[in-house]
Chains A and B, each alone.
Chain A
Amino acid sequence: MTSAVDTPAEESARPAPPSGLLTVARAPGWVRYALLAAGLVVALWLPNGLYPAVAVDILCWALFAVSVDLLLGFTGLMSFGHAAFWGTSAYVTGLVAIHAGLPFPAAVLAGALAAALLALPIGYLAVKRTGIYFAMVTLAFAQMVYYVANEWRSVTQGENGLQGVPREFFGTDLSDDYYFYYAILPIVVLGLLAAWRIVHSPFGRVLVGIRDNPARARALGYPVHRYKLTAFVLSGFLAGLGGGLFAVGHRFVSLDVLHWTTSGKAVIVVVLGGIGTLWGGVLGAALVVRLEDWLSFSGFEAIGLVTGGIFVLVVLLFRRGIWGTVAHLARRRAAARRR
C-alpha cells in the first residue's frame, strides 16, 4: 500500500485514451491500412506455416479474446466467466450439428444465439456490480453453468463429452483441417469486423465514456446499466461464435470449455495482447495457443505452470501488452517528432 514501486499513472486496468475523453486510439490512415493488409495476408497464409488444427484454434480464440476485450478494454468490465458463453455455444452448436444435421455455420449461429440469450440474465445481474465484484459475480455464474452441464448428463454426456460433432456443409468434404480453416476464416473475420464496428460506433463511444467516467455518463442521461448489458450480450454472442467454431473444429465438446481456467485464459490472452486494443487479443490468442500446442507436443505435463507463469509475469512487468506497448512507443515517437 505504501512505497509501492513506481508505476506510471496511466497504467490502470482501463488504459486512459491518449487524447480527449471519448476517443479510441487510432494510428494514421496509411498505417492502419498497411496493418490491415498485413493481417489479412498472415491470416490467409497461417495454415501453411502452422499445423492447420492449431491455426483453427487460433481463429476461435481470437474471437474469444476480442469478445472479452470488448468488455474489459472498452466498457471497463472484467468478465471472469466468459467460458459460460464460449462453452454454452460449444455445446449448443455440437448438439444442433449432431441432431439436426444443419450445415455448420447454422449450428454455430444457433450456438452463438444461445450464448447471447444466456448472457442476458447473467449480464443483467452482473452489471449491478462493478470492478472486482463484477469479476467475482461472472466467475460464480460461469461455475454454475459448469455444474449444470456436469450434472445434465443426458444432454451433455457429462465427463465423456459430446463426441462426433459433424462438419456438415452441403456435402462438401471439410474433414481436412486445412480446408476447414479457410471455411471458417470468413466467419471469424466478420466477427472481428463486427467488434471493430461496435467499438468505433457512437454506441462504442458511449461505452468508452462509461468506462472512463460512469458518473458523468449517467449525468448526461445515458442509461449506463442498459449500455453495459448490451455490450455484455454482444460480447457473449462473439464469444459464442468462437466457441461454436471451436466445437466444430475439434469435432468434440468436453466440460473443459466451461471450466474457470478457460475464462481465466481468455482474460490473460487479452492482457498479453493489450487491454483495449482489440487486435491485441488476436495476437495474444495466436501466441498462447501456439505456445500451449508446442508445450503439449514436447510432452510437457504441467501446462498450468507456464500459463500461470505468463499470468504473473505479464501482470507484473508487461501490463500494456504487446499491441499496447507497440502503440505506446509509436505514439511517443510521433509526439517527439512533433516537438
Chain B
Amino acid sequence: MSGFLQNTFNGLVGGAFYALLALGLAVIFGMLRVVNFAHGAFYMLGAFGAYVLLAEAGVPFWAALVIMPLALGLLGMVLERAVIHRLTRLDPLYNFLLTFGLTLILQDLVKSRYGVQSSPYATPAELSGTVDFGLFDFPTYRVFILGFTVLLCVAVWWVLGRTRVGMVVRAATERPELTRAFGIDVGRWVTPVFGFGIALAGLAGVLAAPMRAVNPLMGADLIIVVFAVVVIGGLGSIFGSVAAGFGIGLIQAWGEAYLSDFPIVSQTVVFVVMAAVLLWRPAGLFGREEAPA
C-alpha cells in the first residue's frame, strides 16, 4: 500500500511539470492561436538559467525562482512583439514552424556555450530531507513542487474565472471578434498573456533543475510529450490540459513501477493514450468539437 501511495505521489510530481507546461501552452493557444514549439526550450532556459545563476553568480534557488520566470516572460514578450506577432494572422502552422526554428536556435546557443553534458544542481537546503507521511517518507522538495504547482494552477484558474482580466482573456479566446466589438482592446492582452505562458515554462524549468538533469536538450523531448498531453486533454480547454498533465504523470509512474521490466511502456504510454483518445473522442477529453485551428 505504501509503495502504491509513493508511486502515486511520484506520478503527481511528474505530472506537475506536464501540467505547468500544458497550462502555458493552452493559455497561449487560447489567446493567440499559436502552438508554441519553443515552450520546451524556455523550460530548458529556466533550468539552465537557475544553474548558471547559482554557479556563476551564487544566486540561490529562491531568487532564481523569481528572476528566471520574470526574465523569460520578458524575453517571450519581446519575441511576441518582434516575430510571432507578424504571423498570427496567417495559418497557425507558420508560427509552429517559426517557434520550431527558435527552438533549434536557443538549443544550439546553449549547447555551444555549455556543451551537452548534464550539470548538477543542488536541492536548496531548506527543502532537503524527507517528510514523514506515516505510511511512507517522501522527499521534501517533491512535496514542495506538488504543492506549489497545485497552488499555481488554482491561482491561474481563479484569475481566469473570477477577475476582470480573466474575463477578457476568456472572452477573447472564445469570440475574439465579438469581444472587440464590445470595445475591449483584445490586442493589449496578447503580449502579456504570451509572456505569462513563457514565464510558466521558465518556472517549471527552475523547479526541475534540482530534480532532473540540466542540459540543453532537456526541453525538446519533453515538449513532444506535452503536445500529446494537450491533444489528450483538448488544447482549447485549460482545465483539460492541466488534468491530462497530472493524469499522464500518474499513468507513467505506475507503468514505471509495476512494469519495470518493460521500460518502453512508461515512455510510450502517453502516445498510446493519445491514440485511444483520438479514436474515442478526437477533440480531446475536455475539448469541444474541432476548435477552429
Contact = CB atoms under 8 A, between A and B. Distances in A.
Interface of A: 1-5, 7, 11-14, 78, 80, 125-126, 128-133, 135-137, 139-141, 143-144, 147-148, 151-152, 260-261, 264, 267-268, 271, 301-305, 307-312, 315-316, 319
Interface stretch (B13-21, B65-73, B89-97): B89-97
B102 interface: yes
A132 B108 contact: no
B104 A307 contact: yes
B241 interface: no
A311 B100 contact: yes
B103 A308 contact: yes
B162 to A, nearest CB: 24
A143 B98 contact: no
A129 B287 CA distance: 12
- The main secondary structure of chain B at its interface with chain A is helix
Could you say which of A5, A132, A264, A312 has the most chain B C-beta atoms within 10 Å of its C-beta? A132
A312 B186 CA distance: 26
A304 B271 contact: no
A136 B108 contact: no
A311 B93 contact: no
B267 A316 contact: no
Given A1-B190, A11-B90, A315-B101, A128 B278 contact: yes
Interface string B203-243: 00000000000000000110011011011000100000000
Contact of A3 (B112, B187, B270, B290): B187
A312 B274 contact: no
Contact of B221 (A131, A143, A152, A307): A143
Given A137-B231, A302-B108, A311-B97, 8 more contacts: A4-B87, A125-B275, A126-B278, A129-B231, A139-B224, A139-B227, A261-B104, A310-B101
Contacts of B91: 12-14, 131
Contact of A4 (B89, B109, B279): B89
B224 A133 contact: no
A304 B94 CA distance: 19
Contacts of B192: none
A125 to B, nearest CB: 5
Contacts of B272: 144
B187 A312 contact: no
A315 B97 contact: yes
B293 interface: yes
B263 A136 contact: no
Contact of B264 (A135, A148, A302): A148
Contact of B230 (A78, A136, A141, A267): A136
The 10 closest A-B pairs by CB, nearest first: A311-B101, A308-B104, A304-B108, A2-B187, A13-B91, A308-B105, A144-B271, A304-B104, A312-B101, A140-B228
B104 A147 contact: no
Given A264-B100, A311-B104, A12 B90 contact: yes
B156 to A, nearest CB: 21
A222 to B, nearest CB: 18
A11 B90 CA distance: 8
B17 to A, nearest CB: 17
A203 to B, nearest CB: 24
Contact of B263 (A12, A126, A151, A315): A151
A124 B202 CA distance: 36
A140 B227 contact: yes
Interface in B79-129: 83, 85-94, 96-98, 100-105, 107-109, 111-112
A180 B2 CA distance: 62
B35 interface: yes
Contacts of B85: 1, 4
